[in-house]
A and B are shown apart, each in its own frame.
Chain A
Amino acid sequence: GQQVMQIPQYQHVQEGEDFTTYCNSSTTLSNIQWYKQRPGGHPVFLIQLVKSGEVKKQKRLTFQFGEAKKNSSLHITATQTTDVGTYFCAGVNAGNMLTFGGGTRLMVKP
């Protein structure tokens, strides 16, 4: 079945440093979504990417969808303590099934 892998699993950064998480699918995706889950909270939708090579920005967050629509990345510039949490990608395959990646847990040292 479809697999969506995310790396790294964990990332410790100093406040102000940049952070990137990568998502790779074993199959071509029709779209990819990103969610953030704060500690003790529930996943919250951040964005959806649909087009090959698409890049979207939300303030300090930059999301990319690969040209082959099999990978994606989320980059945070100048992390803040409010960025702490687990970031999940979720890909929709040709069979219209949504599969979540394992998540990247971001910890920010003030």
Chain B
Amino acid sequence: KAGVTQTPRYLIKTRGQQVTLSCSPISGHRSVSWYQQTPGQGLQFLFEYFSETQRNKGNFPGRFSGRQFSNSRSEMNVSTLELGDSALYLCASSLQGATGELFFGEGSRLTVL
């Protein structure tokens, strides 16, 4: 069974630009959660999507948004990038939901210059 796939793996953007990250969950998993990982803040929950609906949202500004498609693939978008958005963005899929066993992808490492 294929794991969670995230693209792109690495990207460099400049302040003010926007970025879209993609996540394909494990087949059969309808829950997709997004996390931001930075050395200082650890793993911070962004949002969870289940069957195309956002079920939960973390404490991030409105510049961070996401969506889920009917095939459970998910995208997250960050608009008007700031230097502080540089981080590893991890996607996790789950059979039970965002509070069950999470299967993480390799992550998308975003650098904002």
Least Cβ–Cβ distance between A29 and chain B, in angstroms:
10
**Chain B interface main SS type:** strand
Least Cβ–Cβ distance between A22 and chain B, in angstroms:
16
Residues of B within 8 A of A45 (CB): 101-103
* Binary flags per residue of B74-113, CB closer than 8 Å to A gives 1, else 0: 0000000000000000101000001101111111000000
A96 interface contact, C-beta 8 A: yes
CB pair B90 A99 closer than 8 Å: no
CB pair B42 A42 closer than 8 Å: no
CB pair B105 A42 closer than 8 Å: yes
Closest A residue to B91 using CB positions: A42
Q: How large is the interface on A (under 10, 10 to 19, 20 to 34, 35 or more residues)?
A: 20 to 34
CB pair B43 A43 closer than 8 Å: yes
Residues of A within 8 A of B107 (CB): 42
CB pair B56 A97 closer than 8 Å: yes
Residues of A within 8 A of B92 (CB): 43
With A100-B43, A102-B42, A103-B42 already in contact, the answer to whether A43 and B101 are too (CB < 8 A) is no
CB pair B43 A97 closer than 8 Å: no
Closest A residue to B58 using CB positions: A97
A101 interface contact, C-beta 8 A: yes
Residues of B within 8 A of A41 (CB): 106
Least Cβ–Cβ distance between A2 and chain B, in angstroms:
11
25 contacts between A and B (CB under 8 A): A33-B102, A42-B105, A42-B106, A43-B43, A43-B90, A44-B104, A45-B101, A45-B102, A45-B103, A48-B101, A88-B42, A88-B43, A90-B43, A96-B99, A97-B45, A97-B56, A98-B45, A98-B98, A99-B45, A100-B35, A100-B43, A100-B45, A101-B42, A102-B42, A103-B43
Task: Enumerate the 3 nearest inter-chain pairs by beta-carbon distance, A residue then B residue, closest first.
Answer: A100-B43, A42-B104, A102-B42
Interface residues of A (CB under 8 A from B): 1, 31, 33, 35, 41-45, 48, 88, 90, 92, 96-103
